[in-house]
Structure 1
Amino acid sequence: MLKISDDIKNLDDANIADNLLYYEYNTKHLRQLEKQGLARDDERFLSAYRSFEGEVFENYLYEKLIRYVMDIDEVTEFIAKGPHKKSGKTLPNTLSVNSKGQIVYRTNRNEIGEFDAIFFTKKELYFVEMTLVKSVTNLKRRLRKKKALLQTIFPQYTIKSLIILNEGVSGARQLPDYASVWITKPYSSAKVYDQITKNDYKRKPFEKIEGKKIIGTEVLKLHYFKYYNTLAWILKQSRGHKDRVLDMSFLKRKDVVRFVNLFTKFYIGFMDKEDFIKMYPSLKDKITQNVMVAVEKEHTGRLQLTYFMQHTRRNLDNIIVTGDAPKIAKKDPYGITVTEVAHIYKIIKPYHQLKIKDINIINKLFASADIQE
């Protein structure tokens, strides 16, 4: 197991020069708030500042890691990103470094995975998550998705994770066995913010780390993965049993569990508008057409139903049911869910329709289901 070095634990920045100043940051909003007279301890300023600080923390740890791995014999390769790698066009269906300097995997239309860092040993692939969160509860789902994606495109490796957190975080012991956890001292980005916002600060030259271990994404050998074809396959197979409304034995298969973790949700059919209103009469004036039915995996691992109503190609409502109280949330018009729903609508068939009794059966199945990673 990789062990945290003292200089990373104590957040020593002596050996990274001014490299943090060569990453891209959007501080325009923060500067405007200060011009308006907001103090740095004002909650309105802090709300925007936390996002900036998270970016700096990630970049700081990347700079430390790229130096750390040079002295670790078991690490064979480390992916270059940010100012260590020339940015280029993000390529579809593979890992690449996007125009913002981030390691991403994208389909033809959307980025579906972003990685703070990735490195390899002979048999293992480590993806790194660096975050200033106070609780890891919501982190679990993100880790599950990223691991599933990497298992799919790198089946030749055992997938592990390195999670780097700050002192005071809660729930670190609840993280999965494949995750190694490092805890650092509390981090502050105040020094970097001051250097960026002071026009008279002259940054030192960038120190690029190079060596045989430092590689670009273009040399990686990935297993080809058809994102939307796989979603369609899950729809077909999960609804394909002649005697069951939903084939739970199929959903419990190891490969299918991995895909469910990757997608976080999958689609199983649609409901007639009138049937859906009978289930949730409070939405009578808001349900204008048939509703797509999907299965979502919570961070706890529990499966639950969620619903989508498409008004136009990029106008999509998510109908979320908590207990008996439904609520409607707009989805990002350029997000992956909008594209998924549009694709599923192209292949959905009349026999995929679900009745109220079917929904009740599925909810009972999920209440007793044990579908873990």
Structure 2
Amino acid sequence: MSISRLSDLADPAQCPLLVLKVGSALLVGREGVRRAWIEALVAEIAEARGRGQQVIVVSSGAIALGAATLGLDKGGRGSLADAQAAAAVGQIALSGLWAQLLAGHGLTAAQMLLTLEDLEDRRRYLNVTATLGRLLDAGAVPVINENDSVATQEIRFGDNDRLAARVAQAAQASAVLLLSDIDGLYDRHPREPGARMIPVVEGVTAEVQAMASTESGSGMGSGGMVSKLQAAEIAELAGICLVIGNGQHDRPVARIVSEGIGTLFLPRRKAGARGNARKAWLGGRLRTKGTVVVDAGAAAALRRGSSLLAKGVTAIGGAFLRGDPVSVLDADGRTVAHGLSEYDSAECDAIRGRHSSEQAEVLGYAPRSAVIHRDQLVLK
């Protein structure tokens, strides 16, 4: 069974585990915390639990809350130091609010603060998976946010849309629901005449990406439609549906589900297929250690399911070791795939463009079957 329409989000058989992402502007208004709205949303979470669904919440709002408390301008985003300080203050209030309101429905909240490295490193990613699984088994509602008080610009997700998709991967969720300030994805900027909302997207193509806007209407959030499409790409690689819906209404989940208002992104592959867990993690990575540029023939062969051979490699970028994740680029600089390299960067550079018969002399040992084996490679 698989999700094919928005109403399936409320079906425990189709959607046993839902990741619900809530943006800053929905939680915090000009007058402070939007408590009545949050209470209604928590009631919806309790209803989902009551019908047999598990829910993970990815909650923004710590920086906005902390900035209001500390009196910082620009919503606490004037500098990295301001954001870190605001997050340290705001996270306490945010976690306490979720814990209090969930407890009112007999539910236990569990706080998890994650950085990019927690989900980019394979061992730490598996630790996150294990922790989420145990919390859900114990009946808790994990409430997750980026650890903004310690994350730097270099190790940040930068928005909770992509964090929600990566958390969904780690938890093997059925779907991700991004509550935003817009009904869904439009074929152009929604303020333009004739703009039309797209109800279903099957694969985030270049045409779909061209519809996106980077604007965040509230000024509080850090994402826009671009980040939501990036989240959809991460989710679809893992066989997970993603929905963009409007959170500005009372009981927003019920509106999205019962009235069918939102954009449903369908995955490109089924969840749970052999080898998908590792490939989903690899394909969803936001950072790689280096680049491997390939010619047109090699790029075409990769798309047909082949491994990457040294003969098709034209250039190497960055310093990486054997087993490190690398991006495979075509001649125009477009990302073709992500993969785990069978060689370090110096070895790759030494054998690039060479037939396998020449590689032993260069390397001093028998070459491996490929620069990146197809089992360690995922197309983008």
- TM-score grouping bracket, smaller chain normalisation: 0.3 to 0.5
Q: Which of the two has greater helix per residue?
A: 2
* TM-score (structure 1 length as normaliser): 0.33
Structure whose CA Rg is larger: 1
* TM-score (structure 2 length as normaliser): 0.32
